[in-house]
Amino acid sequence: MKQAIAYYRVSTTRQGRSGLGLEAQQSAVRNYCALHEYALITEVKEVKSTRKHRIGLFEALDLCRQHRATLIVARLDRLGRDVEQIAGIVKSKVDIIVTDNPHANRFTIHILAAVAEEQRQRISEATKAALQAAKERGVELGKNGKLLSVTNRKAAQDFAHQLSPVLRRLQRRGITSVRAISKELNRKGIPTFHEGGKWHPSTVHTLMNRLK
């Protein structure tokens, strides 16, 4: 039977509420192992790790090498937050499976990390630019978060337009229902606007409404 080591990471209490909490990660990994006949040797949990100090991840990788096991994580962003991080892990000679994109190979994982990092950078730049423009207009910042909300909506709108060619290609192939589109986007490993998220009919519906 194939062997696996699970790695879970929780950075903030907010991630628990957003579906990135420990229980959600455990459920995803354990279900994957049960369905694909992996013996889960142990589960390594890490809380509030920083980019430089991720002792839990290094421990999990070492255990994988010792047992010739596969490292399994629930989502790509639990493995790392930027391309440099992911590249180092991919080069560690440990087989890796991301349960929400199980068909991704080493190359694909690297590409998905690059896309996610670029998306975060664009959102950050748009937010900073909007805050600076408001400050120059004399707007008092930090009172109610409305400005940040407007900025995030703009970033989500831009993201929707970036995906519009993909949606048109799917519709030409006869894939038109929100359920079918969400399934196909997940199969292709296309990330959602919220990093690490998985496509659902409701998120596809929201995306399509932004394009109207």
Separation of alpha carbons 63 and 70, rounded Å? 9
Strands (E), 61-198: 70-73, 96-98
**40, 29 Cβ separation under 8 angstroms:** yes
Q: Which residues are catalytic?
A: 11
- Name the token pair of 135: 């400050």
Q: How far is CA 36 from CA 33, 47, 184, in A?
A: 5, 27, 21
Cβ-defined contacts of 24-27 (< 8 Å, 24+): 24/74, 25/73, 25/74, 25/75, 25/78, 26/74
| Backbone φ and ψ of 42, nearest 5° | -160, 165
Separation of alpha carbons 80 and 36, rounded Å? 24
